[in-house]
Chains A and B, each alone.
Chain A
Amino acid sequence: MKNQAAIAAASDAVRSKAVRRDMLLFRIIGYAVLALLALYCFVPFLLVLSSSLTSESSIIEHGFQLLPTEFSTEAYSLLFQYPEQILRAYGVTIGVTALGTFAGLFLTSMTAYVLSRKDFRWRNSFSFFFFFTTLFSGGLVPWYLLIVNYLQLKDTFIVLVLPMLLNVFYIIVMKSFMSGIPEAIVESAKMDGADDFRIYWQLILPLAKPALATIGLFLALGYWNDWYNALLFVSNDNLMPLQYYLYKMLGNMDGMRKALISSGAVVSLSIPTESLKMAMTVTAIGPILLAYPFIQRYFVQGLTIGSVKG
């Protein structure tokens, strides 16, 4: 401490006026560039939100604007007038996310624990068995045929969960975290006669909470944002997750229009298609944006854990 204070004092003394002027210049440039980048990342979200709250006639006349020229919640009221489909899509997504996250977390941590046990004889062979799948794959087609023709999983709930359940990268991150847990803990539990599963369940899991939180959120985000499995395997409207519902709506406004007319939601052809698309987009990302400030730090943590090689 004393040493540092001395260095600081010395550096203050020699810090010339020029260096301070350079620092000021640097800060000005730095803040300007960062502000530009931050706006670049953030403004599109504002644009979507604003568009969803603009009246259709104003969009048609002026285009999408950063601030609503003519404020209107028409799109939202129409969207939620007959909310069954949206609520069902929400339900599918929540179900898939909850099941996938918990099952995935259980399997990831259990697998990682075994691979982190240094006394396990086939540790390296199994690690390679998992890792090799990230280097080489059979490609989309055999995988697709396996799921559709052989496992017959088309249009099932489980096909939205199963393919993303385990991810080699998450296993590696979890394993490197668990490798940092002192072996003495395992040894002493073994002396007391606990079997390996109990050691994992009762001792390791509580100690691995930070890694579980991080990987759990990565899994949850992956499931929440998934549309790919639905694109490939779901044609039943009742099984559409939220993102896929949005995807369909963006691409097929005519179908949407017909559905709305036949359900009696609207009588005329004057459906606010443009603001409706944006309102649906906001509806699909709303929960993520609300949770974002609270979960962000776990993702930052995850990137930092992940950069340590296991």
Chain B
Amino acid sequence: MNRGGFWSDVSKYRVLLLMLLPAVLFFLLFAYIPMAGIVLAFKQFNYNGGIFGSPWNGLDNFRFFFESGDAWRVTRNTALYNIAFIIVNNVLQIAAAILLFEAARPFFRKIFQTMLFLPYFISWVVVGAIAYNLFNYDYGMLNSVLGWLGMEPIDVYNTAAYWPLLLVLISAWKALGYGTVMYLAAITGLDREMYEAAEIDGANIFQRIIHITIPNLMPTLIILMLLAIGNIFRGDFGMFYNMVGTNGILFSTTDVIDTYVFRALTANNDIGMSAAAGFYQSILGFVTILVANWAVRRYDKDRALF
């Protein structure tokens, strides 16, 4: 390729550059300019001064966030939830994909897949309505069932201890179909000759799954896990906010960084502190994704993000 001078290339590619312009402006405006707004984390914000005119206040915004113990609580919750989601969701998705491929006949495979994929298509607000239907103390389905079994009703929305389990179940519910479809595509792409050879050698279906399918899915699984670990400090705001909302009784086990930042901004209007917490999360997230990508790179260079 002949590399001309800068300006002659600008002229040569002017149409392509113009076509790129809207997207460049979009990301400048909504991604890069807010990055500069990180300075807010070190400022005493007032509306007259705005982002750049407000006075500096050093690390004061961070001090409260860390000294109150909030930072530790929300960081721990965010990371632990994401670890639980990654493990439970991937195990269920791989199991469902293997069973769909190996056990179900095409007609039933389609029906099962359709049912598993359904929760992916609804908003977290609707999931919140469903959770209310199930867990509401007075009318919830759960307490009806417990009543039939002769057990005491439980007050889900006032008991923080139930939520780690519930949120894991809800996350699994919402993500099952999406992940299953992805793993199903990976299984479909595997070389069938290996299976035929194993079958001739007298391997039964369980042996074939354990010795062929699962080892061959490992590369996909490891890559997806590493990338998910890269996002371990990003909480799913939609999920936590619609399940828990502003119900402070549950915060000890359900507050994640994203919901904390949101409340600090909207309920307490504490711009400085919420910017500091957000900055802390951005840095954590940036470092973990770099580490995860480094790990992917070492494992399989072609599948690294960059």
Chain A residues within 8 Å of B, Cβ to Cβ: 7-8, 10-11, 14-16, 18-19, 22-23, 26-27, 29-31, 33-35, 37-42, 44-45, 47-48, 51, 59-60, 62-66, 107, 110-111, 113-115, 117, 119-122, 126, 128-131, 133, 135-146, 149-150, 162-163, 165-166, 171, 195-197, 200, 221, 224-228, 232, 243-244, 246-247, 250-251, 274, 277-278, 280-281, 284-285, 288-289, 292-293, 296, 299-300, 303-304, 307, 309
Contact = CB atoms under 8 A, between A and B. Distances in A.
Contacts of A22: 204-206
Contacts of B185: 300, 303-304, 307
Interface SS of A by simple majority:
helix
B205 A171 contact: no
B182 to A, nearest CB: 5
Nearest to A300: B181
Interface string B46-80: 01001100000000000000000000000000000
Given A65-B141, A137-B31, A142-B40, A30 B281 contact: no
Contact of B134 (A47, A122, A136): A47
Given A63-B147, A146-B33, A284-B126, 15 more contacts: A8-B196, A15-B199, A26-B204, A33-B96, A34-B99, A117-B16, A128-B306, A131-B306, A138-B37, A166-B26, A224-B123, A232-B266, A243-B126, A247-B128, A293-B114
B256 interface: no
Contacts of B117: 296, 299-300
Interface string B137-179: 0111101100100000000000000000000000001001110
Contacts of B140: 63-64
Nearest to A27: B103
Contacts of A281: 126, 129-130
A129 B271 contact: no
Given A18-B204, A288-B121, A62 B24 contact: no
B139 A59 contact: yes
B35 to A, nearest CB: 4
A278 B202 contact: no
Contact of B34 (A14, A137, A166): A137
Given A129-B24, A293-B114, A62 B144 contact: yes
A246 B125 contact: yes
Given A142-B40, A197-B15, A278-B129, A165 B26 contact: yes
B251 interface: no
Interface centre among A66, A107, A129 (most CB of B within 10 A): A129
B200 A38 contact: no
A118 B73 CA distance: 48
B38 A142 contact: yes
Interface in B275-299: 275, 278-279, 281-282, 285-286, 289-290
7 contacts: A11-B199, A22-B204, A110-B23, A136-B285, A138-B31, A138-B35, A146-B29
A140 B258 CA distance: 9
Nearest to A280: B129
Given A138-B282, A141-B40, A292 B118 contact: yes
Nearest to A8: B196
Contacts of A19: 199, 202-205
B89 interface: no
B55 to A, nearest CB: 16
Interface string B105-141: 0001001101111111111111011101110101111
A31 B125 contact: no
Contacts of A126: 20, 24
A142 B23 contact: no
B99 A30 contact: yes
Given A26-B102, A107-B22, A145-B51, A48 B34 contact: no
Contacts of A119: 1
A247 B258 CA distance: 19
Given A136-B286, A228-B238, A33 B99 contact: yes
B245 A37 contact: no
Given A66-B141, A285-B122, A309-B302, A141 B133 contact: no
The winner among B19, B40, B305 for most chain A CB atoms within 10 A is B19
B181 A146 contact: no
Contact of B182 (A41, A111, A150, A303): A303
B56 to A, nearest CB: 16
A103 B232 CA distance: 32
A128 B96 CA distance: 36
B100 interface: yes
A250 B157 CA distance: 14
A30 B104 contact: yes
Contacts of B138: 60, 63
Contacts of B275: 139, 141-142
Given A30-B99, A34-B100, A303-B178, A41 B19 contact: no
B242 interface: yes
Contacts of B196: 7-8, 11
Contact of A7 (B19, B37, B108, B200): B200
